Structure 1
Amino acid sequence: MSSISDLIKKIIDGVSNWIERCIPEYEPNAWNDANGIQYNNNCYNYGCDIQTNTYAQPGRAHGITLSPGDLEDCDAVQNGAIADGLKPVNCDEGCGCKDCQHQVALVIWPGVDYHWYRKDQNGKWSHKLGGTPATNLDNSGNLISNPKTADRGNYTLFCGCFCVDKSQVTIN
């Protein structure tokens, strides 16, 4: 019996270590310094959990420049993110992310802006609008359990989910 208990404990510890190492914890203080980190890192930085202090844009690290016309649908922003190393995944089938990856979701305010949400260790979602503080609340002040159904304000177009493996993603 003891060996089975030990094996189960090792499996549980392994999964816990993987989650702690690979899926970001919701720690807004790491982003909300009301100074350089907060103002120089946007939703894409936050979603990818990579502080570049460059106000990163999807695809820019790979020579892709988004224009306002690219914000009518999801294609250009998705293509930029894919060029950066993000991997599309079906949101409705659970995370689908593996191999030390975390999940993000892309939404668009048609013709105006795009925005990213990030799934954290606690299973809830959080986000950071531009230079504003990171938060785990939607526009109605509710915890975000699903960005697809959350109050996203003017970001009415839900584009889908992606997996982020920080060791394979390059943003700028």
Structure 2
Amino acid sequence: MKKVFSIIFAITIMLSLGTNVFAAETGNTVKIGNYDSLTGLIWEEGTENPLADFGPDIIEWLSWYNSLAEEEQLAVNYWPAELGSRMLTEQTSVISATEANSFENKITSFSAAEKMPTGGYELSYNQTYWDEKVNYANCYAYSMNVISTTEYHKLQPGEVSGNTYKLTCTSIFDCAKADGPKLGNGRTIRKSSYSEVPGVNEYKVALVIAPNVDYHWYRQDSDGGWSHKRGLTKIGYKDASDKYIYDPQTCDRNYSGANYSTWCGYYIVTY
């Protein structure tokens, strides 16, 4: 995958402090236009700048996103609604993910005292299954235990219910709540706490935000620990310090490129 989606979507770049006139040879002709020296965006002279309608917050986000390395871009979940779909083919439907009742490649050597309460219906950590689906789910899809039908699609809160979220705890939760019934198996999501024990066909998830740039979800596994999927990267059960995640609220969430410093809370998903 090419670094920076601006190669595919010309709008996904930011304005530099100024523009320069450029001369680009196209076949036997020389084309004169405007060139953004910071991002490489080119648009013809006399035509409107493609970012003219975007506010400073969107331009700031694009600047941050395009500054990330390719692996860091893959780990980003948020995509501003103003930029439209980031997929090559529009597809919002999802299908249920199948879970094997086994643990693979996960070390569970922590004590019972370190484990958060479980109800017995949490999903297993299945490295093999999700490795095969690595390009079909991001953190939100993983937390809801669904996969997209389209490769490289990062499911967004509110997408399947026709809602648009803002990068706030309340807005993301409300959109996820609206999505629930449309994600299959009568899913619901409600606010919870550290000590609440999930009931039948329930498990906990947690939401955090890197202010102004991204959001991230975690989900509790059947062993009592937590796992997550950073964008289109592989699932994992360790935090930014490479330590086992006993509690997403207290684990290290400061990653290169994004610090998920805002704690939104625990939630319970019913499936």
**TM-score of the superposed pair, with normalisation by structure 1:** 0.75
> Shift of residue 83 of structure 1?
1.1
Aligned with 1:56 (options 152, 155, 160): 155
Find the aligned partners of 1:30 and 1:160 in 2 and give their Cα distance: 28
Find the aligned partners of 1:149 and 1:165 in 2 and give their Cα distance: 24
> Shift of residue 59 of structure 1?
1.3
Where do 5+ consecutive residues of structure 1 fail to align?
1-17, 167-172
Match of 2:111 in 1: none
How many equivalent pairs are there? 139
Structure 1 contact 88–160 (Cα < 8 Å) conserved:
no
Aligned with 1:76 (options 166, 171, 174): 171
Specify which structure has the bigger relative contact order, considering alpha-carbon pairs within 8 angstroms and separated by 6 or more residues. Answer: 1
Per residue, is there more strand in 1 or in 2? 2
Look at both structures and tell me which one has the larger radius of gyration over its CA atoms: 2
Q: 1:32 is paired with a residue of what secondary structure?
A: helix
Q: In the alignment, does 2:199 pair up with 1:93?
A: no
Match of 2:213 in 1: 112
Q: Where in structure 2 are the equivalents of 1:13-28 lying within 5 Å?
A: 19=120, 22-28=121-127
Match of 1:15 in 2: none
> Shift of residue 93 of structure 1?
2.2
Q: In the alignment, does 2:151 pair up with 1:46?
A: no
Find the aligned partners of 1:107 and 1:159 in 2 and give their Cα distance: 5
Q: 1:160 is paired with a residue of what secondary structure?
A: strand
Per residue, is there more helix in 1 or in 2? 1
> What does the per-residue CA deviation read over 1:122-162, in whole Å, with 9 as the maximum and x for residues that have no partner?
00000000000000000000000000000011001110111
CA gap of 1:81–1:46, structure 2 versus 1, over 3 A, is same
Find the aligned partners of 1:123 and 1:94 in 2 and give their Cα distance: 13
Structure 1 letter corresponding to 2:194: D
Find the aligned partners of 1:65 and 1:42 in 2 and give their Cα distance: 17
Match of 1:170 in 2: none
Aligned with 2:261 (options 156, 162, 169): 156
Structure 1 contact 138–152 (Cα < 8 Å) conserved:
yes
